């Protein structure tokens, strides 16, 4: 067999062996993200007196959960992480997840790196329209404010009533409101396609229940959300 032919076949086989495990890992990685989101919500339910008021989730249009969002930098910082978004319909409960990425810059004296769990609570239907469009910027396309904490916390301040999205971050085991203006939230189409094993799947398909069945961990996450929001 000519040397050139052998070389071409070797390259093709190497490429196939490289891509095949990557495809398998993609679905596994996204399922691991769901499991991490379950862990975040379990921590939330363990400290309701110092966490997101359940009434906010009960009336929310959707939620985003970003486990281990990374903030790193020297003088100028960068926030980056991946997570999921689920929408809430009173008559249908919580949807299956769509995978998203969150990225944004920040400034100030910050040396080293730290990670935290971040949750966004969507308070308006308009904010969900932005989600389905693929990408939007917090504080620009949709107003965002640090959310109140505690089971009995009042969410009725003027700022919070106007904010379409309330943001939280967990630090030292406790959840607190956090400012995330300027961060971009955008759909991770590749991760979503890998999770559902359906190339080209769109956020609207998932949110409307038209996606293939999700792994069992998703049902556990939906059950926790239902329980925490008082159902």
Helix boundaries (H) for 47-150: 54-58, 125-133
Q: Is residue 151 part of a domain?
A: yes
Q: Is residue 17 part of a domain?
A: no
One digit per residue, the tens of pLDDT, for the chain of length 231 reads 443 433 332 333 333 333 333 333 446 789 999 999 999 998 877 776 667 888 888 888 999 999 987 665 544 456 678 999 999 976 778 999 999 999 875 544 444 456 688 899 998 888 777 777 778 888 888 888 888 877 555 544 444 557 888 888 876 666 777 777 788 899 999 999 999 999 999 999 999 888 999 888 899 999 999 988 776
Q: For residue 141, give the DSSP letter.
A: T
- The C-alpha atoms of residue 99 and residue 89 are separated, in whole angstroms, by 19
Long-range Cβ contact pairs of 170-174 (< 8 A, separation 24 or more): 170/40, 170/43, 170/116, 170/117, 170/118, 171/116, 173/43, 173/47, 174/47, 174/50, 174/51
Q: Is residue 16 part of a domain?
A: no
Q: Is residue 97 part of a domain?
A: yes
Q: Is residue 118 part of a domain?
A: yes
Structural domain boundaries enclosing 221:
29-228
Q: Is residue 161 part of a domain?
A: yes
Q: How many domains is the chain partitioned into structurally?
A: 1
Q: Is residue 11 part of a domain?
A: no
Per-residue tokens: 12: 């093709």
Q: Is residue 136 part of a domain?
A: yes
| Exposure class string for 113-125: b at 16+ Cβ within 10 A, else e | eeebbbbbbbbbe
Which residues are bridge partners to 156 per DSSP? none
């Amino acid at each position: 067999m000519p040397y050139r032919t052998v070389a071409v076949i070797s390259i093709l086989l190497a490429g196939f062996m490289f891509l095949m495990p990557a495809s398998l890992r993609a679905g596994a990685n996204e399922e691991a993200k769901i499991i991490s989101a379950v862990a975040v919500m379990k921590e939330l339910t363990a400290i309701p007196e110092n966490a997101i008021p359940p009434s906010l989730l009960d009336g929310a249009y959707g939620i985003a959960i970003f486990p281990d969002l990374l903030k790193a930098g020297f003088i100028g910082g960068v926030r980056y992480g991946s997570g999921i978004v689920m929408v809430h319909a009173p008559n249908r409960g919580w949807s299956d997840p769509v995978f998203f990425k969150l990225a944004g810059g920040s400034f100030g004296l910050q040396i080293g790196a730290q990670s935290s769990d971040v949750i966004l609570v969507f308070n308006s239907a308009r904010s969900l329209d932005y989600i389905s469009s693929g990408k939007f910027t917090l504080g620009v396309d949709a107003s965002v404010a640090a959310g109140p904490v505690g089971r009995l916390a009042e969410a009725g301040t003027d700022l919070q009533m106007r904010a379409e999205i309330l943001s939280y971050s967990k630090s030292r085991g406790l959840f607190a409101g956090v400012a995330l203006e300027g961060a971009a939230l955008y759909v991770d189409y590749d991760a979503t396609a890998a999770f559902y094993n359906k190339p080209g799947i769109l956020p609207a398909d998932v949110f409307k229940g038209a996606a293939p069945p999700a792994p069992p961990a998703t049902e556990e996450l939906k059950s926790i959300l239902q329980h925490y929001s008082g159902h």
